[in-house]
Amino acid sequence: MDKAVNNKIGRGKSAATTRRPSRGEAEEAVRTLIRWAGDDPEREGLIATPARVVRAYEEWFAGYKDNPRDYLKRTFEETGGYDEVVVLRDIRFESHCEHHLAPIIGRVHIGYLPRNRVVGISKLARLVEVYARRLQIQEKMTAEIASCLDAVLKPHGVAVVTEATHQCMTTRGIHKPGVTMVTSRMLGVFRDRAETRQEFLSAIGMRGSIHGNGSG
């Protein structure tokens, strides 16, 4: 199992580190998709579209440039004795699903019980943004945010709940507008102590709906 996983990661890495396509090649790929959709990339309304799409990609996928662990390591502060749960709710994010490149739009709620380190609100929002601006699946993003906070702040526990709509579900395929997917990752005291978990869930308005057994 480990070996298979490692091989998979290994392949992913080598794909990511092979030569990055040029801007021109990326624009050409967009022209191909426009032709595939059935339109003419040379017509007036579409002539500048490939360049725009490539610029939009630079923004949507800017998260590959940053290592959130290094970033958090530089920015945490001492707690000054604060030992209550910290909750930041409704951090809006926009991401893209790795299966369809379609937008995932939603909110992340983060809670942690500090041991001796805290981070500012803007840093948590930035942390979410770095992971969101990559090709994602919601379960993975939720877990990545939790384990990054856990690894760097070393708190007594971390709770992350993500609620999002997936445009690959709402605009195509099964066409389910209004469906929200909820994923969670509970670590440390949030996993082990029901009352701490409930305190967090009621702070984000989700009392009782999520259990402690990891991602759900």
Least separation in angstroms between residue 167's CB and Zn ion is 8
Interacting residues of 202 by C-beta distance below 8 A, sequence separation 6+:
none
How far apart (Å, rounded) are the C-alpha atoms in residues 3 and 197? 35
Q: Which two tokens stand for residue 6?
A: 């490692």
Cβ nearer to Zn ion, comparing 138 with 196: 138
Catalytic, 97? Answer: yes
Marked catalytic residue, from 163, 167, 168, 198: 168
The DSSP letter of residue 65 is G
Residue from 99, 176, 207, 211 that binds Zn ion (CB under 5 A)?
99
User: Residue 103: helix, strand or coil by DSSP?
Assistant: strand
* Residue closest to Zn ion, measured at CB: 168
Least separation in angstroms between residue 139's CB and Zn ion is 12
Catalytic, 148? Answer: no
Q: Which two tokens stand for residue 183?
A: 């994923």
Q: Which two tokens stand for residue 11?
A: 């392949």
Cβ nearer to Zn ion, comparing 62 with 137: 137
Are the CB atoms for 165 and 104 separated by under 8 Å? yes
Cβ nearer to Zn ion, comparing 100 with 117: 100
User: Residue 179: helix, strand or coil by DSSP?
Assistant: coil
Q: Among all chains, which residue has been given the structure tokens 């050409």?
A: 28
Quick note: the x/- pattern for Zn ion over 136-175, rule CB under 5 A, is --------------------------------x-------
Contact status: 97 vs Zn ion (CB under 5 A): yes
Marked catalytic residue, from 96, 109, 156, 166: 166
Are the CB atoms for 137 and 210 separated by under 8 Å? no
Cβ nearer to Zn ion, comparing 60 with 200: 60
Active site residues: 97-100, 138, 166, 168
Q: Which residues bind Zn ion (CB under 5 A)?
A: 97, 99-100, 168
